[in-house]
Structure 1
Amino acid sequence: MKVSYYPGCSLEGTARDYEESIQAVCKELEIELQELPDWNCCGATAAHSLNHWAAISLSGRNLVIAEKMGEDVVVPCPLCFNRLKTAEKALLGVDKGQFQYTLHGKVKVWDMANFISQDGVLDIIESKVKKPLEGLKVVCYYGCMSSRPPKITDAKDCENPVSMDRILKCLGADVIPWSYKTDCCGASHVIARPDLVFKLVGKLYQKAAEVGAECFVVSCQMCQANLDMYQDKVASKLGTEIYFPIFYFTELIGLALGNPGVKTWLSRHFVDPLRLLKGKNLI
């Protein structure tokens, strides 16, 4: 299976663990990721609040490159996915003539988790699982960018996305239903308003604890950062102890498939996941 691939900026820096797990897992699943040549930043999160034309042009250029490659484009970052989908709608819409790029709508823009959760890919994953994640109690946390607004993302289940639920069930994990899978984590507001973000994240911890979860599974590096980096500060604010490892879904696929890179990816996390995994005899 061959697709084009738009990694986005953060996967080359703060989210290296996500990028490395994606590359390793896709190799095992025989998914050939062809990185867009000379891709550029999509403009998230600031461009669209400053200049609409520039925001559409930044993401539009990447879409034009993907069309020239002729393969559907897979996007791991939900913020990037949202911006590329926004550009797609603009460049194919009634105002398309006002922008510098021309799009023909020949390729599909995929959110990475949705792409991996297709039936055919899940069948491949299931056939390759070496270490089922039995006994691992997870909540899947999608955040707000990969599915909303549905008029941009084309999501049919924008309030109850299930892509990661399907993947984790395939891996043998105990996926716990909960009502906060698309709540916002505050994203980059953590720079200017950490108090606001700590309140939002604290609520997510509390609600996950209430349903008996032991960890979060995410597909967004901004959500992963906010839930992982500030856990001790939020715990201090709430006056309680908190221990929730925050996994990328691709890291857990790699774990279940027995990939040797798992410990390296997990070593970059702020909240140590190995304590939980060792207790479950999963690593």
Structure 2
Amino acid sequence: MPAMIQVGYYPGCALHGTAAEFDGSLRAVCQAMEITLTELADWNCCGASSAHFLDEQLALDLAERNLRLAVQVGPELLAPCAACFHRLKTAQKQRPGYDVHIWHVNEFFARPEGLARLRRRVQRPLRGLACVPYYGCLTQRQPKITDAERPEWPTSMDMLLETLGAKVRRWSYKTDCCGGSLEVARPDLVQHLCTRLVRAAQEAGADCIVTACPMCQANLDISQASPSAPGEPDRRSAVRDSTAKPEAKPAEAAAWPLPTEGEEGLGQAEPAGGGV
């Protein structure tokens, strides 16, 4: 990366609403890394999740309009919301002709030049913080849409966390579904899926779950707010936005004490059998 770089920025609805802290922390990180975000002028909703459930053509129209705006800004577009990223990539695949590289935050920062830039700017390493990276569905699947190289075993967030000094725990739930927008229609199902994720993180010896998806973070937080059933272990854990600035010392970051024993950090290794 050059000394100062400029990239188009599509925040989407969530980062101007329920995930406003994601927007704020991402802007702060980019400023520290000398990356200029140029927000698309007059951008509109990408269509997730309502539009593509109800009207496929309308969903494509909404996303395509943002692509028209993006090509006017430059050759690269950063879409931090996983759902927005997926809808923009879908429109680009189905309506070709928009020559812009759409990045999700994990892959954008995990490029070799991005990791080098990040490494030089770390001022407070996350030593003592054990975490599991949770990618969710939409940045990885379907690979023909997302262009994910390893959709069942992504490593971009792992590399970012290790560069920041955190201890990455090995677990097999990186890309399991949290339930997404089913929180509205089937909260019982989302509760089941998220409880399984939190328990797996605890079993891996993690202090926190790190995610870069606003919907995943919301679902995981909501599921922990619900009391555990009688006889069940407490499932409370810390769920952190992958770009959020630490508010406490690493050893104090977890909202609930979790086991300290577990498998070692993973680097680039893939589980036996080729994935989850």
Shift of 1:83: 0.3
TM-score normalised to structure 2 length? 0.86
Q: Which residue of 2 aligns with 1:54?
A: 58
Judged with a 3 Å threshold, the aligned counterparts in structure 2 of structure 1 residues 174 and 91 are, in CA distance, closer, same or farther, namely same
Is 1:67 matched with 2:45?
A: no
Please state if 1:36 is matched with 2:40. yes
1:199 to 162, 168, 192: 192
TM-score (norm 1): 0.84
Which one-letter code corresponds to 2:22 in the other structure?
Answer: Y
Q: Which AA in structure 1 matches 2:174?
A: K
2:146 aligned with 1:142: no
Computed over aligned residues only, the root mean square deviation of the Cα atoms, in angstroms, reads: 1.8
State the number of aligned residues: 250
Contact 2:208 2:254 in 1 (8 A): no
Q: Deviations over 1:179-228 (max 9, x none)?
A: 10100000111111111011000110111111111100000000000111
Distance 1:41 1:28, change over 3 A: same
Q: Which runs of 5+ in 2 are unaligned?
A: 258-276
Decide whether the 8 Å contact of 2:129 with 2:253 is kept in 1: no
Q: Percentage identity across aligned positions?
A: 44
Opposite residue 32 of structure 1, the aligned amino acid is: T
Give the helix-richer structure, 1 or 2.
Answer: 1
In the TM superposition, residue 276 of structure 1 has moved relative to its aligned partner by: 6.8
Runs of 4+ with deviation above 3 angstroms? 272-277
Aligned equivalents of 2:8, 2:228: Cα separation in 1: 41
Paired with 1:117 and 1:38, the residues of 2 have a C-alpha distance of: 29
Structure 1 residues 70-79 or 236-245, which shifts more?
236-245
Aligned counterpart in structure 2 of residue 9 of structure 1, from 13, 18, 21: 13
C-alpha separation between the residues in 1 aligned to 2:112 and 2:227?
38
The Cα offsets for residues 132-177 of structure 1, whole Å up to 9 and x where unpaired, read as 1111110000100001000000111111111110100000100012
Conservation of the 8 A alpha-carbon contact between 1:217 and 1:249: yes
**Closer, same or farther: CA 274–244 of 1 in aligned 2, 3 Å:** closer
Task: Give 5+ residue unaligned stretches, structure 1.
Answer: 93-103, 256-261, 264-271, 278-283
